[in-house]
Amino acid sequence: MLTDSTKSGANSTPAAADPLVQVTGLKKHFPILGGLFRRQVGAVKAVDGVSFHIERGETLGLVGESGSGKSTIGRVMLQLDHATEGSVLFEGTELTDTRGEALRQIRPKMQMVFQDPHASLNPRMTVASIVGEPLREHRAGSREERKTRIDELLDLVGLEPGHANRYPHEFSGGQRQRIGIARAIALSPDFIVCDEPIAALDVSIQSQIVNLLEKLQDTLGLTYLFISHDLSMVRHIADRVAVMYLGRIMELSDVDELYTDPKHPYTKALLSAVPVPDPKIEAVRQRVILEGDIPSPANPPPGCPFNTRCPVAQERCELEVPAWRELSHGHWVACHFAE
């Protein structure tokens, strides 16, 4: 039986018995101001009714084109931005209503690894100051204990303790990202949002960072939301994958099933753009070319958000938002014609 939210096209999937994170009906609209008195004349619907859960120890991959709302979801989940509507439950605590000291007490359990390792590190601070900042902010241990912890963290991410007194500009991009990861795990969090952590790195370094994240997950029992547009890397690290388009989730499934049997036309188009290492297969496989650009989130099309670019769109797609339905166990899709 479809719930009201499902009928309206909002994503809704049944959660596990005890998920670490439960997101329900999440919306984030940024106001558009205009006129002499700077009144709101519209809104950018960056996230428009998204629901999912993340189990403990799991990695949920979040993929989609630039501008689809991936990073906004991560920021709202950590309350770096406040939600317009919806719920974010972390270990049973409603974060959207949490403010001040109560939110500060939860902060150590939720951290973020940012996309640009250069912009996210203060160039005037040494590595020891950067990695130790969360420890000082939350008064974790004595000065000597913090120094020992910093050395442990640098060793965990593959850096030498002797690097502690250097500055970010003395390191390569991959090393700077390791510093950012060390800062993120300093307070032993349960959940980390990885916001395109490999996008600004050389291809040769990307796999090293992903392998490091996997190693830390196994060692520390971490749970990840891994945001990326690199589908080949997401396949390597994720347990389940959610595909976003224009502020909504189009498809969500186990990683192996999504890559071998995608159901949504948008997912098929994204996967068709991923190169195959076998030249014989690459020479004969069909590419799905999407025409046009992603519509503006300030003026999304009626009906299915993807209907303006979908190769199989029909009149129904322009009039009716597709229901969020489960085609097989754990495989959800928002498309009228997916089978």
pLDDT digits (tens, 9 = 90+) for 157-174: 999 998 999 999 999 999
pLDDT of residue 37: 86
pLDDT score of 285 = 75
CA-closest candidate to residue 23, choices 81, 94, 80: 94
Q: Which residues contact 301 (CB under 8 A, 6 or more apart)?
A: 295, 307, 308, 318
**What pLDDT, on the 0 to 100 scale, is given for residue 4?**
39
Q: What is the pLDDT of residue 269?
A: 92
Separation of alpha carbons 312 and 317, rounded Å: 9
- Say what the pLDDT of residue 174 is: 94
Residue 200 confidence (pLDDT):
85
pLDDT score for 122: 94
Predicted confidence pLDDT, tens digits, the chain (339 residues): 333 344 344 565 555 568 999 999 999 999 999 888 889 889 999 999 999 999 999 999 999 988 899 999 999 999 999 999 999 999 999 999 999 999 999 999 999 999 988 899 999 999 999 999 999 999 888 999 999 999 999 999 999 998 999 999 999 999 999 999 999 999 999 999 999 999 989 888 999 999 999 999 999 999 999 999 888 899 999 999 999 999 999 999 999 999 999 999 999 999 988 877 777 776 777 788 788 788 999 999 999 999 999 999 999 999 999 999 999 999 999 999 998
Q: Where are the alpha helices (DSSP H) in 67-189?
A: 70-77, 100-106, 127-137, 143-156, 173-184
241 forms beta bridges with 61, 253
Nearest to 58 by CA among 191, 211, 195, 224: 224
At residue 7, the pLDDT reads 39
d(CA 231, CA 234): 5
Q: Smallest Cα–Cα separation from 178: which of 111, 229, 107, 113? A: 113
How confident is the model at residue 108, as a pLDDT?
94
Per-residue pLDDT at 10 = 58
pLDDT at 204: 86
User: Is residue 168 within 8 Å of 182, Cβ to Cβ?
Assistant: no
pLDDT at 13: 59
3-state secondary structure of 186: coil
